[in-house]
Structure 1
Amino acid sequence: MTGKFLLASAIATLAAGSAMAQSSGDWTGFYGGGQIGYADIDTNISGVDGSGTIGGIILGYDYDLGDWVVGGGFDYDWTGIDLAPGVEVEDVWRIKARAGYNVIPEGLLYAVGGYAEAGTDNLGSDNGWFIGAGYEQIVAPNISVGGEILYHEFNNFNSTGIDVDATTIQFRAAYRF
């Protein structure tokens, strides 16, 4: 089901965004791309933690209001971070809202937050929230790159009594329609 949703989202983004060309310095429009980085995951149980590589896809839409930019997006990340023997975090997806300020020509400094869900191999999945900040720079017509740091919380993960928090730092690249 998740694969079909991701494919449908990508097709909708491409179809709707193709008519909206990104001019230099204008953030209005759809975007899609990828991200890769590092995740550090901790729990309230001593010795149950882990860190490693995380990466996936990004989709979204921004609206340029002049000096300010607002937008929403969707991220899906794959990972294989072991927390304890037999417990692995497999994926994380997020629904985001972001707002930022044009700090230099074609650069955007922003705050972000929203809903997240993390899935494991044998403890199921659970939802939580996240907040963070990032910077994005348009480097070529329709191409932007940036970085983002996010802090996540998942309390009482899947009714197990385990509280989970995670910090991710990722490099992002997007094609802007």
Structure 2
Amino acid sequence: MEVAMGRYLAMGAAFLALSTTSVLANEWTGFYAGAGIGNLEVDTSVLGVKENDLSYGVHAGYRFDAGRWVFGGEFEHDWTDIELVPDAISADRVMRLKATAGYDLGPTLVYLAAGAANVDVDGLGDDWGSFFGLGAAYSVTPQSIVSLELLEHNFSDIGDSGIDADAWSANLRASWKF
């Protein structure tokens, strides 16, 4: 009797969990745009030249919800003022063309991101590189989303200077879905 009761309770709990998941299911398909704030750290191939500072920016993209999997593309532009060599060389902005693939957990989306990034370094020039990372988004309402992203960037021979750089960013973002 106790074994049968345990099975019924387990089946009831599973049914309740599935029912709750479907009630909390979120539709991620659509265009979105927003702003973010975070920290960007740049480590160059020049010994001892590693700095970080506040970054802030805007983003816009589109997601397609294919059931449990969500795919998307995004444009993001961040501004910063990281003085790598005081009064001579500073990282001013990072622009990203991003592809994302994630898993739909209802109001939460966890995803991987990768793509191309362009860094503008005052005193050296600009350069295209690559980035990859991960993120998590939470749908506060059907239209408003907050997210956190952690990205690693790689740039080689910035502005034909022979200087390479790795950069890491952590951004808290707010988006509006329309």
Q: Same fold (TM over 0.5)?
A: yes
Specify the SS of the correspondent of 1:140.
Answer: coil
For structure 2, the residue ranges without an aligned partner over 5 or more in a row are: 1-24
Distance 1:111 1:122 in 2: 33
Consecutive aligned runs of 4 or more in structure 1 exceeding 3 Å deviation: none
- Look up the equivalent residue of 2:127 and give its one-letter code: D
What is the CA RMSD across the aligned residues, in angstroms? Answer: 0.9
1:37 partnered with 2:38: yes
Cα offset for 1:44? 1.0
Q: How does 1:66-81 map to 2 (within 5 A)?
A: 66-81=67-82
Q: Distance in 2 between matches of 1:118 and 1:82?
A: 14
Q: Any idea what SS the aligned residue of 1:173 has?
A: strand
**Alignment equivalent of 1:97, drawn from 88, 99, 107:** 99
2:49 is paired with a residue whose SS is coil
Matched to 2:149, the amino acid is E
The correspondence of residues 110-125 of structure 1 with structure 2, limited to 5 A, is: 110-125=111-126
Corresponding residue for residue 12 of structure 1: none
Q: Deviations over 1:34-91 (max 9, x none)?
A: 0110011101111212101011001000000010000000000000011112111010
Task: Report the TM-score, using the length of structure 1 for normalisation.
Answer: 0.84
Instruction: Say which one has the larger Rg.
Output: 2
SS of aligned partner of 2:159:
helix
In the aligned structure 2, how far is the partner of 1:107 from the partner of 1:128? Answer: 30
Identity of aligned residues (%): 41
Instruction: For residue 156 of structure 1, report the CA deviation from its aligned partner.
Output: 1.2
Structure 1: gaps (5+ residues): 1-23
Q: Distance in 1 between matches of 2:132 and 2:75?
A: 14
Distance, in Å, in 1 between the alignment partners of 2:155 and 2:123 is 16
How many residue pairs get aligned? The number is: 153
Q: Secondary structure at the match of 1:171?
A: strand
**How do residues 1-177 of structure 1 correspond to structure 2 at under 5 angstroms?**
25-85=26-86, 86-103=88-105, 105-177=106-178
Tell me the distance in 2 between the aligned counterparts of 1:82 and 1:32: 29
Please report how far the alpha carbon of residue 141 of structure 1 lies from its aligned counterpart in structure 2 after TM superposition.
2.4
